Amino acid sequence: MVNDIKVYMDMFQSEPEPQVVKIEELIDQVLRKLGAGNKYPNVKVDTDFNENAKYLRVDPVWFEYLFFYIIQNSMEAADKEKTLYQNIFTGREEPTP
């Protein structure tokens, strides 16, 4: 908990440094850090990243923390007696003419 507060305070003490990053790599890194299959055996995560929507312009550190805590909170809140399925995907609709 203390580490989480420090991270939160550090994030808002500095300006974001946006970069073009691959969302798939950031999400994969978050899932590895969470140890999704080991620490949360009742959680199944599926990902599907569209070739046309795979890049983001974000601060990679902030984005990683954002998704880390969103996914971690859902895993911790899951009923331990049931399997939680999480689907993380990107999509891009073609603009209408």
Phi, psi values for residue 71, rounded to 5°: -70, -45
The domains located in the chain, with CATH, are 16-89 (3.30.565.10)
- Indicate the pTM of the whole model: 0.71
C-alpha 88 chain-centroid distance? 8
The angle, 0 to 180 degrees and rounded to 10, between the axes of the packed helices 60-77 and 2-11 is: 150
Indicate the residue type of 33: K
pLDDT digits (tens, 9 = 90+) for 62-71: 888 888 888 8
The pLDDT of residue 92 is above 70: no
pLDDT digits (tens, 9 = 90+) for 25-81: 999 999 888 885 577 778 888 888 888 888 889 999 888 888 888 888 888 888 888
Q: End-to-end CA distance of the chain, in Å? A: 50
pLDDT digits (tens, 9 = 90+) for 8-18: 666 667 788 89
Phi, psi values for residue 40, rounded to 5°: -125, 75
pLDDT at 71: 86
Residue 77 and residue 44: Cα distance in Å, rounded?
A: 14
